[in-house]
Homo-oligomer: A and B are copies of this chain.
């Protein structure tokens, strides 16, 4: 049976590997990769350094696995938004933008894990970098597809613009240069999706 997956000693705990990944997630996100030592992760996971090195070859491998999970979560959110509006690419794009916009407040202290990790890992051969690269490539491919389905005349350009705006909203929120970034972001993406786009004017004709 085992209602709880395991029960090592007293409290119901997740297996060590999960605890390690959870701890790594929290620490890497809030403090950065290089500032967080393996020891700190172990303490937060209520285990030891040795346990970490039993489950992950090196710290870099742990970093890569963390980013793999973040990317998977992101993709899952992408899937969810897509499934909520089947056959309606414009709504899908807006849903994605809303997902990002709603995540901005949580991101305001520390920014996007991918952007931050790239900054902390200059060498492109790092395993984590390849995880990010693949994720971003897939993300772009999907977005281009959505833009094409939405009937936008130049899907690549539209996807580039949406990508720019989404990324820019995150970094601008992080560095505090733009306030109400979420609202502004939504208005911009709406203008892109509705082609007539005059987001700066007062006209607010949402066709369909």
* A residues apposed to B, CB below 8 Å: 30-32, 34-35, 109-111, 114-120, 122, 132-133, 136-137, 139-140, 152-154, 157-158, 160-161, 163-169, 171-172, 174-178, 181, 184-185, 187-188, 195-202
Does B163 lie within 8 Å of A118, measured CB to CB? no
Q: Which residues of B contact A31 (CB under 8 A)?
A: 122
Q: Which residues of B contact A168 (CB under 8 A)?
A: 163-169, 171
How many copies of the polypeptide does the oligomer hold? 2
Does A32 lie within 8 Å of B164, measured CB to CB? no
Does A32 lie within 8 Å of B122, measured CB to CB? yes
Q: Per a CB cutoff under 8 Å, which of B118, B157, B201 touches A200?
A: B157
With contacts A165-B168, A168-B166, A177-B140 known, is A154 near B120, CB below 8 A? no
Does B133 lie within 8 Å of A175, measured CB to CB? yes
Does A184 lie within 8 Å of B167, measured CB to CB? no
Interface of A is mostly: helix
Does A118 lie within 8 Å of B175, measured CB to CB? yes
Q: Which residues of B contact A137 (CB under 8 A)?
A: 176-177
Task: Closest B residue to A112 by CB, please name it.
Answer: B171
Q: Which residues of B contact A34 (CB under 8 A)?
A: 34-35, 120
> Given the complex of chains A and B, what is the CA–CA distance between A110 and B119 in angstroms?
7
With contacts A164-B165, A200-B152, A200-B154 known, is A177 near B139, CB below 8 A? yes
> Given the complex of chains A and B, what is the CA–CA distance between A164 and B182 in angstroms?
11
With contacts A153-B201, A181-B160 known, is A118 near B167, CB below 8 A? no
A sample of 23 cross-chain residue pairs with beta-carbon separation below 8 angstroms, ordered by A number, consists of A31-B122, A32-B122, A34-B120, A109-B122, A119-B120, A120-B120, A132-B175, A133-B176, A136-B175, A136-B177, A140-B177, A153-B202, A157-B184, A157-B200, A160-B181, A161-B165, A163-B177, A164-B172, A165-B168, A166-B168, A167-B171, A195-B201, A197-B198
